[in-house]
A and B are shown apart, each in its own frame.
Chain A
Amino acid sequence: MSRSANRSGDGVRRAIETYFRLAPVTVPIYAVLTAVVVGSVVILAAGSNPIDAYAALFRGSFGSGAAVAKTMARSTPFIIASLAVAFGFKAGLFNIGAQGQLLMGALAAAWVGTWGWVAGVPSVIAIPMVLLAGLVGGLLYGGIPGVLKARTGAHEVIVTIMLNAIAARMAEWLINSRRPRILLDVTASVPHTTPIDAAARLPKLIPGTPLHVGFILAVLLCVVVWFVLQRTTVGFEIRTVGANPHAATYAGMSVSRTIILVLALSGALAGIAGAAEVAGGTTGYLTAGQFRNVGFDSIAIALLARANPFAVIPAAVLWGALLTGAGTMQLQAGVSSDLVFVVQALVILFVAADAIVRWVFRVRRPRDIDVTQDGAFAKGWGA
């Protein structure tokens, strides 16, 4: 690795580590509350009643069985993709590339799902085939920044940002191209891929709602990731590399191998998120703009969940609920559905700038006993 790349990598790692050390569970909760309060000021300024707006938002997302099912369906890709990002955080890696890996997984799934022989096999084979395709697509696409970082020191943040752009353009071409036709369904009025075979579609959890088996899969993946991280030697290596790569080397672990493994597996998770959406969605096909910001929002969700594999579930459900209830809010309270993006942005803001939240709610920083060791020294001479 080149020295400079190594140093900037340490910086990112330190920043991530400091954030998680300093933010106890209470901070994300307060951050959400603060965002809601500041959001109501925005609603007031727009001339509406915030209580009506939030009530409508809540009705739209949790007000009925159907609403809850919709919210959970909407949350499913966020759970899996933010789990992917959180997994990277554990090794001190900032996988900005979930968006690209998710698209690659979705493309692979949309392609494999239309293979002729898939139509001939039962669902127990066809569904895993499609999910596996998504996994492999994401794994390979996540492996690229992993290998580049391990071999050359290229920073994963830069590489994955660029790979996201490549994936977005590639998806547009693969889906929209008529000559040559690649994945396009030529009968479609709006360009999308050929729907995958019925045998490969994920069954609905509750018939008549969009909620599909993918939600169960997402929760299971959270359990698996937690188990791998906390109870296995591989997870121990990942956490050690994340917490102190020097100690990992000293203990005989291979830091570069772990980096490749984590980014590839993080990509695989994101790929599954994409595949599950294609296979579980009501249409069974993929449009170029389908995932808009899912991969990017997942970074925010992973931060809100403080990279805890279980906390990503409520954090992602919050995200899904905001998006699901937005329409009802607009219809019933007359507040633009874009307000939910303001609230989402405020949540991110207050999670990132946790000092504000701490100040407002008087949350004590943990481990402030021995300030001499680092904090106070920073003052030193000066002003």
Chain B
Amino acid sequence: MSEATDAPRVLEARGISKRFPGVLANDKVGLVVHKGEIVCLLGENGAGKSTLMNVVYGLYHPDEGELLVNGKRVVFTSSADAIRAGIGMVHQHFQLVPVLTVAENVVLGHEIRKGPFLDLARARREVAALSKEYGLAVDPDARVEELSVGAQQRVELIKALYRNADILILDEPTAVLTPAEVDHFFGVVRSLVEAGKSVVFITHKLREVLAVADTVTVLRGGKVVGTADPKTATEESLASLMVGRDVVFEVPKGPAHPGHVILSVRELHVADDRGVPTVDGVHLEVRAGEILGVAGVEGNGQRELVEAVAGMRPPVRGHIQIEGHDIGGWSPRRVTQLGVGHVPEDRAKHGLVGTFSVADNLMLNRYNRRPFSRRLVFERAFIRDNAQRGVKEFDIRTPSVDTPAGSLSGGNQQKVVVARELSGDVKLLVVAQPTRGLDVGSVEFIHTQIIQLRDGGAAVLLVSAELDEILALSDRIAVIYRGRVAAVVPRPEATREGCGLLMAGAGEQAPAAPT
């Protein structure tokens, strides 16, 4: 941004190198942030974005290079030094105490005292003032655990501002937000910049970069591979810079040839862990050779729907039929044996055992069947062959099949799950958030695999919070809102805007305002 270059440099990193055992995470990285500027730090997972920001925030000490804040050289030994220098960071995983109120969380570590006592009244007033000044609507007295994810993020921002941060580092801030919340969040970021703050925005989402950034710095393999002006850059140009080759956005996909009904869900009611009914009378049908995308803001019953279909959560009422079998009350194992693959939304929690080898993870759903084991004893040669096949076919980047799955990158972990669930005779694939947190290259690969499976005649139930993903893959789109299917739209008739409205509840008789 031309006017920003005249503004003073508030933060500058020069030739930062940071080495971890076996990895050069940052290789002579430079970054300049001017006052009142939004700098996007773009890169795939493992490109070194977070390392650089942890150096800036004083969590890591760089092996080489120097940091300048407001033109003065600084050496941080801890995040406290960085905070004192006016740097604030909002981590991807919030650092909040759930049982404390908003005001208590904000002052934590910098409490205002009245004598020996905490002056909470003043804390509340200051939080309210900050929240008004920057349009960060939160109730200072609400307990953090009761807040939505978006509101928790606002608390984190207030926390940084309360500590007088002039430079805000936001690590993947939109990963947890709904489309509407993202728009609101961008508004907040702009108001911060107008108030004279500077923002470093870490992301791998190209759409957001173009929407909000003043300048873009692209990292790849620990190095700065370029800077771009978002006014002239396109998603394609940024992506190829980020990945190092041309990227296909829309995975080529022929028309669907739907066959017989494989999955039929009728009048399904499912409750969540607390017993609250979250799936409230869902009807769905998925046919062989088609992808049904379930779009919706997270928390509208998608998770419980998927878990019910996979046999992990018994329905309260209603029917789920797979290939004519009513699977109500079936165990996950019986459902799997019908030819159902399930890519769960939380790969670290459900999909993988991080401490187990890639080979063991690749047999997690079939370990008890021949030829993986015979009479309880494992056939180790077959397990190894199976793993090597999976690693090759699904392009899993791992030093060996004996490497613990948890030490792989997110994209490769997800490929392990996908390789396992898409192998064998899959009649129905249930996929939830298949590409969350993955880099462009892995997204492309996994999308291709899902489409290939469809073309092979499998039925696919795809649940994603990313509307772009739903639009790219689905043959029909079911929009879910408050546990009900608001509408089922054939892909050609579906638009981003139309789906967005349905996701926000426009299909209801009495539309409720989105949060």
For the complex, is A179 an interface residue (Cβ under 8 Å from B)? no
* Surface stretch bound by B, among A69-77, A241-249, A328-336: A241-249
Interchain CB contact under 8 A, B59 and A379: yes
- What is the predominant secondary structure among interface residues of chain A facing chain B? helix
Q: Are A244 and B22 in contact (CB under 8 A)?
A: no
The answer to whether A250 touches B351 (Cβ under 8 A) is: yes
Residue contact B80 to A250, C-beta cutoff 8 Å: no
Q: Are B50 and A372 in contact (CB under 8 A)?
A: yes
Number of interface residues of A (CB under 8 A): 33
B20 close to chain A: CB less than 8 A: yes
Q: CA A250 – CA B353 in complex, angstroms?
A: 11
Chain B, residues 375-418, CB within 8 Å of chain A (1/0): the string is 01110100000000000000000000000000100000000000
Chain B residues closer than 8 Å to A117, beta-carbon distance:
none
Of B35-43, B114-122, B360-368, B471-479, the one contacting chain A is B360-368
The chain A residue with its CB closest to the CB of B156 is A381
CA of A380 to CA of B22, assembled, Å: 26
Question: Are A377 and B91 in contact (CB-based, < 8 A)?
Answer: yes
Quick one: given A240-B356, A372-B51, A379-B78, are A247 and B95 in contact (CB under 8 Å)?
Answer: no
For residue A234, which residue of chain B has the nearest CB?
B376
* A376 touching B59, Cβ below 8 Å: yes
Distance in angstroms from A287 CB to nearest chain B CB is 40
Q: In the complex, which residues of chain B have a beta carbon less than 8 angstroms from the beta carbon of A250?
A: 310, 312, 332, 342, 344, 350-351
B351 touches A232 (CB 8 A): no
A355-383 vs B: 1/0 string, CB under 8 Å?
00000000000011111100011011111
CB under 8 Å from chain B, chain A span 228-265: 231-234, 236, 239-240, 243-244, 246-247, 249-254
A21/B378 in contact, CB under 8 A: no
Residue contact B353 to A244, C-beta cutoff 8 Å: yes
Sort chain B's interface into a size bin. 35 or more
Residue of B nearest to A252 (CB): B333
A17 at the interface (CB under 8 A from B): yes
Q: Does B355 contact A (CB under 8 A)?
A: yes
Residues of B close to A246: CB separation below 8 A: 349-350
Determine whether the beta carbon of B331 is less than 8 Å from that of A252.
Answer: yes
Expressed in whole angstroms, the minimum distance between the Cβ of B471 and any Cβ of chain A is 28
State whether A244 touches B367 (Cβ < 8 A). Answer: no
Shortest B314–chain A CB gap in Å is: 12
Q: Is B108 an interface residue (CB 8 A)?
A: yes
Hey, which chain A residues are within 8 Å of B59, CB to CB? 376, 379
Residues of B within 8 A of A236 (CB): 360, 367, 378
Tell me if B514 counts as interface (CB < 8 A to partner A).
no
For the complex with contacts A232-B378, A233-B368, A236-B360, 16 further pairs of A-B residues with Cβ separation under 8 Å are A3-B273, A232-B376, A240-B353, A240-B356, A247-B353, A249-B312, A249-B350, A250-B350, A251-B333, A251-B364, A369-B22, A369-B23, A376-B59, A380-B79, A381-B95, A382-B109
- CB<8 Å pairs between A and B, sample of 28: A232-B376, A233-B368, A233-B373, A233-B376, A240-B356, A244-B349, A244-B352, A244-B355, A246-B349, A247-B349, A250-B310, A251-B332, A251-B365, A252-B311, A252-B332, A252-B334, A368-B20, A369-B22, A369-B23, A377-B93, A377-B95, A379-B59, A379-B78, A380-B79, A381-B79, A381-B95, A381-B109, A382-B108
